[in-house]
Amino acid sequence: MIRIEISLRLPNSPGSLAGVCRLLSDERVNILAITLEVGGQLRLVVDNHVHGAAVLREHHHQVTERDVIVTAVPNSPGALAPTLKLVSDANVNIEYAYGGGSDGAPTATIVLGVEDAQRAAAAAGV
């Protein structure tokens, strides 16, 4: 499915990530997926991106939003490969990916940042 990802840059200092998570928690915005890159680029998929982005902007974060693909795959070796092949066969480049699943859980959640989310989602059937 296509979801909206919230992206912002955090300073490289203790408590930066905790502060963002606390802001969202205080507003009852649930984080569904998260990645923080070495340079401070934070990417979030939340259950209410409109409210989540507004809260972060109110607290002086520069937020951008973009369409991403969020898919659940079986939590087993090789389960992601068929989805990635369909996206590749549609000639859609995957710019970044993140996700995970708990050990023993039946599914894992994967987020794909792609150049054309609509085309990629249609190609992958998600």
The band of 86, judged by pLDDT with boundaries at 50, 70 and 90, is confident
What's the pLDDT score for residue 124? 72
Structure tokens at 6: 């919230």
Do 7 and 38 belong together in one domain? yes
Q: Into how many domains does the chain fold?
A: 2
Closest CA to 6 of 38, 36, 39: 36
Span 100-121, pLDDT tens digits = 988 889 999 999 999 888 888 8
Q: What is the distance between the alpha carbons of residues 116 and 42, in angstroms, rounded to a whole number?
A: 21
Tell me which amino acid residue 111 is: V
Share of the chain above pLDDT 70, in %: 99
Structure tokens at 21: 């998570």
Do 49 and 77 belong together in one domain? no
Mean pLDDT over all residues of the chain? 93
Supply the Cα-derived Rg of the chain in whole angstroms.
15
Span 35-72, pLDDT tens digits = 999 999 999 999 999 999 999 999 999 999 999 999 99
Structure tokens at 103: 């050990």
Do 60 and 7 belong together in one domain? yes
Which of 66, 84, 116 is the last residue in one of the domains? 66
Do 9 and 29 belong together in one domain? yes
The CATH number given to whatever domain includes residue 37 is 3.30.2130.10
Query: Is the CB of residue 71 less than 8 Å from the CB of residue 79?
Result: no
Q: What are the φ and ψ backbone dihedral angles of 103, each rounded to 5 degrees? A: -55, 125
Q: What is the mean pLDDT of residues 27-35?
A: 96
Do 91 and 59 belong together in one domain? no
Q: Which residues contact 82 (CB under 8 A, 6 or more apart)?
A: none
| pTM over cut 0.85 | yes
Do 74 and 86 belong together in one domain? yes
Domain hosting 21: range is 2-66
The band of 16, judged by pLDDT with boundaries at 50, 70 and 90, is very high
What's the pLDDT score for residue 91? 87
What's the pLDDT score for residue 119? 80
